[in-house]
Copies of this chain bind each other. A is one copy, B any other.
Amino acid sequence: MGTIITISRQYGSGGRIVAQLVAKQLGYQFYDRALIDRAAEESGFSTHHINESGEYATSSSSLLFGLSVANTMGQGGMSLYDNVYLAQSKVIRAIADSEENAVIVGRCADYILRERAHCLHVFLHADVESRLRRAVEEYGEADAKSEKFLREKDKRRKVYYRTYTGENWGEAQNYHLTLDTGLLGIETCADLITRAVQAMQ
């Protein structure tokens, strides 16, 4: 059975870069957009739709958003978002069932694989300043000027996670390892994850 590292992360914490570094250091497969594409191919949904669903879920606090979800309702009362989530879950389980070692970023992979052995579930976060700086400098996000911008991003990921797992996003007990990339830095975080995986074996 392969080892799977799942990496959940706050927007702007550099989680994707950490995940890539870990995959490189350990020689593991890396799944992020590649995962989206595989899910898209298997389910027939367009990549555009699946991309959006990575951060949006029905929220009672957003009427406008609620309406846009309602418009996508398909057969059996399941929204497009629900169908995409199911398609992604299938792909994640297929990766976990294969013999390969892999790093999977986001997509509630930690929850989907919570009962599986040989998994290290990681959550990455950072202080507001580091996240805004990274959003502007590395992601080219011109609107990332205030904490409010980040709070909105966090809220969406929180709602998405809550909707599909019933759990609280970012609670230490749901992960084997959580790290502050702002204080520790990207390289140290990748190094600590790599060491944790090596110690498990």
Contacts and interface: CB of A to CB of B under 8 A. Distances in A.
Interface of A: 10, 120, 123, 125, 170-173, 175-180, 183-185, 188, 191-192, 195-196, 199-200
Nearest to A176: B180
Nearest to A183: B176
Nearest to A181: B176
17 contacts: A10-B173, A120-B183, A123-B172, A125-B172, A171-B171, A172-B172, A172-B178, A176-B184, A177-B177, A177-B180, A177-B184, A177-B192, A184-B199, A188-B196, A191-B195, A192-B196, A195-B195
Contacts of A171: 170-172
A173 B172 CA distance: 8
A37 B191 CA distance: 38
A176 B175 contact: no
B177 A179 contact: yes
Contact of A184 (B170, B172, B185, B196): B196
A184 to B, nearest CB: 6
A199 B185 contact: yes
Nearest to A127: B173
A171 B173 CA distance: 8
Given A177-B177, A191-B199, A192-B192, 10 more contacts: A10-B173, A120-B183, A123-B172, A125-B172, A171-B172, A172-B172, A172-B178, A176-B180, A184-B200, A191-B195
Q: Chain A binding site: helix, strand, loop or mixed by DSSP?
A: mixed
Contacts of A173: 10, 125, 170
Nearest to A188: B199
A177 to B, nearest CB: 6
Contacts of A199: 184-185, 188, 191
A179 to B, nearest CB: 6
Contacts of A184: 176-177, 196, 199-200
